[in-house]
Structure 1
Amino acid sequence: MGSSTPSALLLLVAFLLNLLPATPWSRPPLAHLQVFTNFDCKANVHGALPKPRCQRNLWEGPSLPLPRLTLNTVHQCQQPGCQSCVRVHLALNATGISGLKLNFLVLTTNRFGWLRILKKKRNQMYTGNVWQVHLNCFPVENGQRVLVTLETIPAGMLRLNQSLFVASKQSGPEFHYTWLPEAQAFEVSAPEGPAVMVRLCHQLALGCEELDPPFHQQALVSRNRTALLPYGLLLPCLCIEASYDHQDSLRKKVCPFRDQPEIFGRDLWSSTQFEDSSNSDKNEMGMLLRSRCLIHPTASLCWKENVFPGAVCQDIPNSTATRLGQEYILEEVDVHPQLCFKFTYKNLSHVKCPHKADPAWTVSLSVTFLQLHLRFHSHVPSSFSSALCQLQTSGRCEPEPPVYTITHPEGSAPGVLDLILPWRSLNHCVLVWRSDVRFAGKQRLCPDVSHRHWGLLAFGVSLTLGLLITIILLIRWGLHRLHKDAPSRRSSRPILLIYSPDSEEHKKLVCAFATLLRSALGCPVLLDLWELGHVARLGILPWVYAQREHVGREQGQVLLLWSAGSARAYALWRGKASGDGRKAPEPHDLFGAAMACLQGELQARQEPCGRGTGSSPTSVNCVAGGTFPVLYAFFPATACLGN
């Protein structure tokens, strides 16, 4: 019995100790001391500090005046008695500095420790002179004061001191406010209790920064004393902060418009600075954003039909930009003054276009008879596509097939590219865009149908209308004979148009003739000038062979437009040089490829235009298993000079 009494007492003492609250030093310490810097670093500690972990992390907050050492309290939980710690942020000019040392001293207990941060010698990522260091965080108990001292390595270049009283976690002082939008101010008062100091501030990453003058005032309020706090701009980070009128008082903040974009929308974008960082040589579009609030909107591309401020900006699908800090970058873009960034934040949108006025390429449109002439001026290697579109009453213009493409190859000097399109009707326009990049806007060009331009068109019509009508009648007469000979053939057989590239004017006339031929006969016309992109990818010989096989399968016709240039080229091709120094057409030329295809027919008839020529359609076996007729049209109206 005597021996059991001490044992019972020990068990009772152990039970009572378990009921007591844990002492502050019985809590588990923080696992690591997090050290974030904007340079590659290494860290070590001594004394009452956890093991450090140094990480490189770019600072995205607002720039601080140099040098700067700020402290603030962080509570690990919301319940009373939880562990607290002191968070440190510093910014300094690091010229001539290889590292720094932070000394921590708890004044009430004399607990001491230091943290040393050194810059790694081989630091290739950061070359600036401003160091940003964020420490999270030095553990301390509530009700204690901490002194933090900054020293540089080597010593003597800079020394900063800052102290902080760590209070218990409380709700802070109570206050009431009324928004007065007409006066652009808040009326603030306090309920029963001690007087409260109030001010307006902008809530940023580390704290609430005071407003710029003249809106940086503070006021003391109570139940019987109100204060009017004016502001300049309504922003989502605009807050009212209150504290008691003594040092290291607890603070309480209310941000009235944080989630009300319909109120702060206009002021948010007007207070934001946009800096263009695009690089047209790299096909890269960028925009740097600086805002008074720490916001991260999303950004995508849109295209403005014109440069007027109120013009609608059409969204470009799947064009979300990548954000690097406060800069937004998108690659493979046709950098153009009408291609803009569309920033979106909390259902608010703002369009910002590049400041560069000179694009990498321009295009102009001119009108001739039944055709549209596009002229491109490009400073960079690129490809351009265009398509006709029908202008609607709503203002939209949807592209219609086919799509015409022309290329300014890599390594070529800046120059001029010409593209000729058929013109279908007065309400047709042309959409033009750069097609060698992922993101590009479509420019809409509409022909000028003013009286002056119609006078020029009428003059051109008067010169060519009679000629074209005559040729169309001849072609229809030839096709009518073919229809009589083969009534079972379809009426929509294709026509392959072969010509000699005498001049640019001759090409325009060929395009006009092809357009009129397609409209008059209602059958597809195969013309290389309408498929420049396809011809560039395949090459002229594969394209001619492919069209030849297609005509053979569909029982179509080959139409050879014979001109004075065709006669000279044919004579050179046959070895009958005219002595003018010109070279015979090569096999990679359209006319040379056609001559090679029609070689059997041409050998049977010594010259298609000249002595002893005939004009009746014949059959030519140019491809194995495929036979199609060849028609001749003398174009322009140049009669055969033979007897």
Structure 2
Amino acid sequence: MGRPVPRALLLAAAAALLAAAGAVTRLRVSANFECRASADSTLSRPHCRRAARAGPPLEPPALVLSTALLCRRPQPCQPCLRVRLALPAAGLGGVRGLQLDFLELDSNRAGWLQVWRRRGARGGVPWRVRFDCFPAQSGRRVLVSLRTIPDRGLALSRSHLVATEPPGPVFTHAWVPEARAIEVSVPRGPALMVRLCHQLALECEELPRPFHQQVLVPGGRCVLLPYEFLVPCLCIEASYPHRDSLRSKRCPFQEQPAAYGPELWSSVRFHDYSASSKDQMAMGLSGRCPLRPHAALCWREAAAGAAPCHDIPNSTASEEEQAYVLDKVDVHPQLCFRFSYGNSSHVECPHRPETAWEVSLSAQGLRLRLRLASSVPAAFSAALCQPHGGQCQPQGPVYTVTRAEGSTAGELALLLPPAPVLGGCVLVWRSDVRFARKRLLCPDVSRRRFGLPALALALVLAVAVLLRSRCSAGRPAAGEGRGARGGRGGRPPGRPSAAPPSPAGAGGRRPVLLVYSPDSEAHAGLARALAELLRAALGCDVRLDLWESGGVGRLGGLPWLYAQRARVGRERGTVLLLWSRGSARLWRGAGAPGAAHDVFGAAMACLRGELGAAGGAGRPGGWVLAYFSRLCGPRDVPRPLRPLPTYRLPRELPRLLGALRGPRRAPRCLRARGLLRRLLEAGGGKGAGEEPPPGRPGFGPAAGT
């Protein structure tokens, strides 16, 4: 290995090399093509990366050697040999790699490095490679040879002396925080050129304007140099005025806690790349200093920058080349990255203010309707909850709706049962990702747009329950049947005057299958409201497709309808056909009822079959028809259906309830149709029978008439 070099000479050489050529923190190969590198045990395996340029341009063929300083903590810095080469593209066809051979003379220490062009890398361009760097002892000469793989007869050799030099310029400094500056003092003697710079991996880069000044300070004088940000890589560099002078550098803030505070994050620029993916959060950073912080998700309570951000467990982002990526995230303006470095942290939120999906809550009948608009394929879940102590924990089942991949963009609808009380809320979240924040939607009963219909429907339900309880108290005991009476509260026209006792459904209740036409949201809302009323007032076992969407989706509209019709027939129940002008249009449409493309179409096909089977004998049993007077009139009922028992609502609501209950007389308390009508009309207003204008929720028809 040769004679040891005195420590003073090593320190002097280290200072000179650090100032003249910059420090190297790791062995690295830079090339103008996609590359990989291998080396012998003396060098280990250097990291190979593609760089736009590897230093100042060289005219090929060229092999240039220079001295640098290799500083890898905790080992002390040592001199090393930097290699830059350029080879022409012509005459090197079929060359896949290069080999550099190093030989330190006197000590005979040798090593080699191979740089390979990766498969698929673009050919036909000059080879430009930079290697940082081969460790060598100060004062030794190193011989470097270059050849191609496979050998094409091209060989270059150069030697370089890693010389020892005297110490660089001497100066002192002091930090002046109140002036945001550093005071540099030059001792008596020659003048020095001083400047502030940012120490990067290999070079000390000058500060941006207007902090980039380089000042000539006479001996025995001092100068105040302002800085932009107090950061760990802020350094002071001094040199003599003549060209190629030795340089001295100090970086006094690497161990200063104040350099790791808010100013460090102010010096960093964040780049949001999340908009390029539907479920990936990605953010890059570039700063004055080379940083590799830790990044994880947190949820900010409000959009304000001073709001607290709560950490989310197990949400660490992966990092590569200053880019931080986390998959399976529902990107939201308040779902942010917390970057931590040293003794400080910084929260950076997505830069786009909008989200990939929006949701709104409305009342439809006695149910809640969620409208979801998503610009990306996703799955959404919702659950009812009751606010308490600042929290709202989900209660009961979770409802889910999905927009499949490749489907056209549009609104998704999700129907929920009514909130437990008027103060109940709904939690909505995206359920096809790992990290998503639940959004809380609470009905606002103070606004007419939502509060009046919901309050009216809630009152209808309360009054109906009260009526049911009072009627139950006035009913005769078992076995004390009442004879049917005529009048408005008697049996509907055409019904038999007496019927044998019929088997009851579950709990002694007759089943009612409610069928309606899906011609408008208003009509569907009325169907739901009527079903809720029948169930609450009479305790009817109401079967409605909107309440059994899972069964309909699993079996299909036609099988589900026929199964329900068969059950109603076995238990002597009733099929209640809720009619409207839209129903009449569907009936008259070419083949619509017989096509059985939905539950209403299947019901019409079933009814036509029973009408055909009855022939001239009358009407099919177990069917009744009802309509709301504001939605249609008697003439809208097709001629083949007019033999069915028909009821006009809300005027003949008690008669309808009596027909559904059975041949016994309807309870007197159910004749309070005026109160029911007023409550229903209070929710719908004057326009209850009209379609809602485009873009406006149709609350009126759902709660009116």
TM-score past 0.5 threshold: yes
Aligned match of 2:414: 419
Find the aligned partners of 2:413 and 2:67 in 1 and give their Cα distance. 67
TM-superposed CA distance for 1:316, in Å, is 3.8
User: Structure 1: which 5+ residue stretches go unaligned?
Assistant: 1-20, 26-32, 549-556, 597-602, 619-633, 639-643
Aligned match of 2:48: 57
TM-superposed CA distance for 1:276, in Å, is 2.3
Aligned match of 1:320: 316
Find the aligned partners of 2:473 and 2:127 in 1 and give their Cα distance. 86
Find the aligned partners of 1:303 and 1:350 in 2 and give their Cα distance. 13
Aligned match of 1:374: 370
Aligned match of 1:384: 380
Find the aligned partners of 2:538 and 2:164 in 1 and give their Cα distance. 92
Matched, 1:444 2:454: no
1:511-534 Cα offsets, whole Å, 9 max, x none, are: 5577789999999999875786x6
Aligned match of 1:403: 398
Matched, 1:508 2:503: no
Greater RCO between the two (CA within 8 Å, min separation 6)?
2
Find the aligned partners of 1:269 and 1:385 in 2 and give their Cα distance. 37
- Residue 178 to residue 137, structure 1, CA distance change in 2 (3 Å): same
Find the aligned partners of 1:392 and 1:130 in 2 and give their Cα distance. 69
TM-superposed CA distance for 1:362, in Å, is 2.3
* 1:436 alignment partner, SS class: coil
Aligned match of 1:641: none
Find the aligned partners of 2:435 and 2:578 in 1 and give their Cα distance. 46
Matched, 1:135 2:132: yes
Structural RMSD (CA): 6.4
Find the aligned partners of 1:344 and 1:83 in 2 and give their Cα distance. 28
- Residue 111 to residue 433, structure 1, CA distance change in 2 (3 Å): same
Find the aligned partners of 1:204 and 1:175 in 2 and give their Cα distance. 22
Query: Match for 1:36 among 29, 33, 53?
Result: 29
2:512–2:576 Cα contact (<8 Å) kept? no
- Residue 493 to residue 508, structure 1, CA distance change in 2 (3 Å): farther
- Residue 195 to residue 270, structure 1, CA distance change in 2 (3 Å): same
Find the aligned partners of 1:244 and 1:493 in 2 and give their Cα distance. 106
Give, as a single letter, the amino acid of the residue that structure 1 aligns with 2:522. E
1:64–1:91 Cα contact (<8 Å) kept? no
Query: Match for 1:364 among 360, 363, 376?
Result: 360
Find the aligned partners of 1:86 and 1:177 in 2 and give their Cα distance. 29
Aligned match of 2:229: 233
Find the aligned partners of 1:314 and 1:128 in 2 and give their Cα distance. 52
- Residue 310 to residue 466, structure 1, CA distance change in 2 (3 Å): closer
2:196–2:206 Cα contact (<8 Å) kept? yes
Alignment of 1:23-102 (within 5 A): 23=3, 36-37=29-30, 39=33, 41=35, 57-58=48-49, 66-67=56-57, 71-74=67-70, 84-88=78-82
Aligned match of 1:343: 339
Aligned match of 1:583: 593
Give, as a single letter, the amino acid of the residue that structure 2 aligns with 1:73. L
- Residue 479 to residue 175, structure 1, CA distance change in 2 (3 Å): farther
Give, as a single letter, the amino acid of the residue that structure 1 aligns with 2:621. Q
* 2:408 alignment partner, SS class: coil
The alignment's TM-score, normalised by the length of structure 2, stands at 0.58
- Between the two proteins, what is the percent identity of the paired residues? 37
Find the aligned partners of 1:416 and 1:360 in 2 and give their Cα distance. 13
1:577-618 Cα offsets, whole Å, 9 max, x none, are: 99984336969959979x99xxxxxx9x93153569954479
Matched, 1:165 2:163: yes
Find the aligned partners of 1:35 and 1:505 in 2 and give their Cα distance. 71
Give, as a single letter, the amino acid of the residue that structure 1 aligns with 2:253. P
TM-superposed CA distance for 1:174, in Å, is 7.3
1:76–1:84 Cα contact (<8 Å) kept? no
Give, as a single letter, the amino acid of the residue that structure 2 aligns with 1:606. G
Give, as a single letter, the amino acid of the residue that structure 1 aligns with 2:622. E
Aligned match of 2:627: none
User: Structure 2: which 5+ residue stretches go unaligned?
Assistant: 6-25, 59-64, 480-505, 565-570, 607-613, 615-619, 625-643, 647-657, 664-672, 681-705
Find the aligned partners of 1:88 and 1:397 in 2 and give their Cα distance. 63
TM-superposed CA distance for 1:383, in Å, is 1.6
The alignment's TM-score, normalised by the length of structure 1, stands at 0.63
Aligned match of 2:452: 458
1:189–1:227 Cα contact (<8 Å) kept? yes
2:366–2:458 Cα contact (<8 Å) kept? no
Aligned match of 2:284: 288
Matched, 1:205 2:192: no
2:233–2:251 Cα contact (<8 Å) kept? no
- Residue 83 to residue 349, structure 1, CA distance change in 2 (3 Å): closer
Alignment of 1:531-550 (within 5 A): none
TM-superposed CA distance for 1:506, in Å, is 4.1
2:35–2:49 Cα contact (<8 Å) kept? no
Deviation larger for 357-366 or 606-615: 606-615
